[in-house]
Chain A
């Protein structure tokens, strides 16, 4: 699976959009970009995933660059409950049972 690079930490004001970047320059053609988050003391939670088109769901939007070497997770109106560690993972979804390898992630702090 391709390696990802994320900033260690970010701050965001409550009510503003949180834009979390991820670099995955070695991504291959059949690998998807997945985002998970882990709120303190809880198990990781799936947010969204995409291949090459931008995706949106009730939690967030995922913007993938045309060359697919980077992506941005957008939380449109961050709340205090969005404070968590956000993991960007690149993998093939149907490969060996969707194994996910978690890196260090980005610790997002939403401030009042």
Chain B
């Protein structure tokens, strides 16, 4: 398996623009997580899905952020409109969930810079 695949790896945009980050989890994994990492706040859990259904979005900073998982092999995290404080590395992770070891598999991240 290729692992968790994220795109784009780098995104530079201007304030007010819409940003869409994409994630393809490992095939067969039931859970998908979106994390954000900044120097100030470290790694923060934004939202996670189980079987394509959002379970906990309490970490989503505000209404400008939205996440979807239309099928088991694809998820998006959208920021509209983007702001400079959204600049961060966004990680997607997946796991097989119940019955497994609890290991999360992370993608390489999408580095977002909002000017």
Residues on A close to B: CB < 8 A?
A: 32, 34, 36, 41-46, 49, 91, 93-94, 96-105
Contacts and interface: CB of A to CB of B under 8 A. Distances in A.
B102 to A, nearest CB: 3
Contacts of B106: 43-45
A99 B109 contact: no
B103 A46 contact: yes
Contacts of A32: 102
Contacts of B93: 43-44
Highest count of chain B CB atoms <10 Å: which of A91, A94, A104: A94
Interface residues of B, number: 28
B108 A97 contact: no
Contacts of B33: 97, 99
Given A46-B105, A98-B102, A99-B33, 5 more contacts: A42-B108, A43-B93, A45-B106, A46-B103, A94-B97
Contacts of A41: 109
Interface stretch (B13-21, B43-51, B71-79, B80-88): B43-51
B99 A94 contact: yes
Closest 6 CB pairs of A and B: A43-B106, A93-B102, A102-B43, A97-B31, A46-B103, A98-B102
A59 to B, nearest CB: 12
Contact of A98 (B43, B56, B97, B108): B97
Interface in B61-115: 91, 93, 95, 97-109
A97 B50 contact: yes
Contacts of B91: 43-44
